[in-house]
Chain A
Amino acid sequence: MFVFFLTLVAAAFVCLVIQHFIPPLAFLENARVFLMPLVLFYGALSLPFGVMLFLALACGLMWDCLTAQVLEVGIGSVTTPTVEIALGWSILLYAALGAVMSGLRPMFRRGRWEIHCLMSGICTSLIVLVEFLMISVRRAALYEAPIVFTTGIWWRIGGAGLVALVLAPLFFWVLGSMAAFTGYNPHSKAPGEE
């Protein structure tokens, strides 16, 4: 299991690198393609809850390291550095969604592969939505900028989920093969698991 966990962390890192080179999808109002969450969600279904938490920790930390912004807030030369969204929020978000996926593990163990696809789509959209809400609330406080939802924003949130839904079967197959290669059975019950 430990080898498979490390494989998933490495796969998440590779997906994060690849994500940088996938342009926004113009036909979906510039929605982005998210690959790393697909790895996390597969891990949430195939690993015990405790191990899933550490996968969420690794994925969330990598994401926060790329996106967290340190801002100089204040007037004129009197400014103080502030972190817009602190390191750790994505970890909590990923862990919460991973926990929801973990709850569906019994169905996954029975061979219901479509659970990964459907939930990957929904949860990816939720990640983009929560990120938007977090920056909106934060910026409303920093710049008194209002929270506005436009059609483009909804498309970007939904589009990310749609793309995840389409890509999920491929990830399911690739990560399942990786599990077999590392000698881990993703459908197995962890000791003491109900």
Chain B
Amino acid sequence: MRQLTVLALVAFLVIVGVLFALGPAGTKKVQSRFQAVIGPFLTTGWHVEKTIAAVRGGLKTLDQLETENKELTVHNKELQAVNSTLRDLETENNRLRHALQYRERAAFQLVPARIIARDPSSWWNTVKIDRGFADGLESDMPVLTEDGLVGKTTTVAKNASTVLLISDENCRIAANIEGTREQGIVAGERASGTGMPLIGVRFLSKSANLRVGQKVYSSGVGGVYPPGILIGGIREFKVKELEGYASLTPAVDLTGLEDVFVVLGNK
């Protein structure tokens, strides 16, 4: 038995050694194959989660229903008053809100995708989407919504891909700040998580005259992200020892994200 244990230990170490020796291409290949295996399970899980949420959303107590009824009665009267003025705007408003119409307006060739799962780890910020190389996706493609930048694709399998969110420290975007000549690098903070996205712009000049709410856009330097995509708004500016640092409020609500677009290229 002791011989078997030694044999198992040797086999274990050999396999781990082989895995360590895999380069970036080999690693991506192994990840892509595993993603192809786990992808259908995540999609099924997503459907189950939606069904449960729908059932839970439909269950309400009598008190809740009574309160809701009162609110709706008041709301109904308000709506009747403003309805006539809003009728003309209805069509345009719906068009602007509808995600597919963003696709038509956008200057890019976009593939719509649905988020099927969020990263289960503590220190990495990624999501899984239901599109893969079968839909023309490759790694390092920008991902966005009509509100702004979300991140970029990393591992791509046939029908599922991983998206590295802008709140991850490894997702680095060259950016410029609205109304100034300031340029910097946007990256997530290490303590950032999928439940608490924290991002900031580094390498700004210490004398940068920035104000809260100023918008930050991708500059296009580096080639992955197209220029002019909104990343977020400045929340706070701090002067550090060697640089200026601005923390941002992301333009996109990364915690409640459900649908995104992957940029395949220009139209």
Is A31 interfacial (CB-CB < 8 Å)? yes
Query: Which residue in chain B gives the minimum CB-CB distance to A65?
Result: B34
Docked-complex contact A91 and B16, CB < 8 angstroms: yes
CB contact list, B16-75 vs A, under 8 A: 16-17, 19-20, 22-25, 27-28, 30-31, 34-35, 38, 41-42, 45-46, 49
Q: Given A65-B35, A87-B19, is A190 in contact with B30 using a C-beta cutoff of 8 Å?
A: no
Write out the residue numbers on chain B whose beta carbons fall within 8 Å of the beta carbon of A92. 16
Is B170 interfacial (CB-CB < 8 Å)? yes
| Residue from A65, A84, A150, A160 within 8 A of B170 (CB atoms) | A84
Q: Given A30-B193, A70-B24, is A22 in contact with B120 using a C-beta cutoff of 8 Å?
A: yes
Q: How large, as a class, is the contact surface on chain B?
A: 35 or more
Please report the C-alpha to C-alpha distance between residue A35 and residue B146 in the assembled complex, in whole angstroms.
35
Is B87 interfacial (CB-CB < 8 Å)? no
Q: Given A50-B8, A54-B12, A83-B24, is A131 in contact with B19 using a C-beta cutoff of 8 Å?
A: no
Q: Given A30-B193, A83-B27, A135-B190, is A57 in contact with B16 using a C-beta cutoff of 8 Å?
A: yes
Number of A residues near B (Cβ < 8 Å) is 66
Write out the residue numbers on chain B whose beta carbons fall within 8 Å of the beta carbon of A139. 169-170, 190
Is B15 interfacial (CB-CB < 8 Å)? yes
Write out the residue numbers on chain B whose beta carbons fall within 8 Å of the beta carbon of A76. 221-222
Which of the listed residues B22, B120, B154, B191 has the most CB atoms from chain A within 10 Å of its own CB?
B120
CB contact list, A4-51 vs B, under 8 A: 13, 16-24, 26, 30-32, 34, 48-51
Query: Which residue in chain A gives the minimum CB-CB distance to B3?
Result: A192
Which of the listed residues B5, B22, B27, B164 has the most CB atoms from chain A within 10 Å of its own CB?
B27
Docked-complex contact A69 and B124, CB < 8 angstroms: yes
Q: How far is the CB of B199 from chain A (nearest CB, A)?
A: 14
Is B195 interfacial (CB-CB < 8 Å)? yes
Write out the residue numbers on chain B whose beta carbons fall within 8 Å of the beta carbon of A72. 140
Docked-complex contact B122 and A160, CB < 8 angstroms: yes
Docked-complex contact B45 and A20, CB < 8 angstroms: yes
Docked-complex contact A17 and B38, CB < 8 angstroms: yes
User: Which A residues lie at the B interface, using CB under 8 A?
Assistant: 13, 16-24, 26, 30-32, 34, 48-51, 53-54, 56-57, 61-72, 76-77, 81-84, 86-88, 91-92, 95, 128, 131-132, 135-136, 139, 143, 145, 148, 150, 152-153, 156-157, 160, 190-193
User: Which B residues lie at the A interface, using CB under 8 A?
Assistant: 1-2, 4-5, 7-9, 12, 15-17, 19-20, 22-25, 27-28, 30-31, 34-35, 38, 41-42, 45-46, 49, 117-124, 128, 139-140, 154-155, 164, 169-170, 187, 190-191, 193-196, 221-223
Q: Could you list 17 A-B pairs, sorted by A, with CB under 8 Å?
A: A13-B41, A19-B120, A20-B45, A24-B194, A50-B4, A68-B31, A70-B27, A72-B140, A83-B27, A86-B20, A86-B22, A87-B27, A91-B16, A95-B12, A128-B123, A132-B123, A150-B191
Which 7 pairs between the two chains have the least Cβ-Cβ distance?
A192-B1, A50-B8, A24-B195, A19-B120, A65-B34, A81-B24, A88-B19
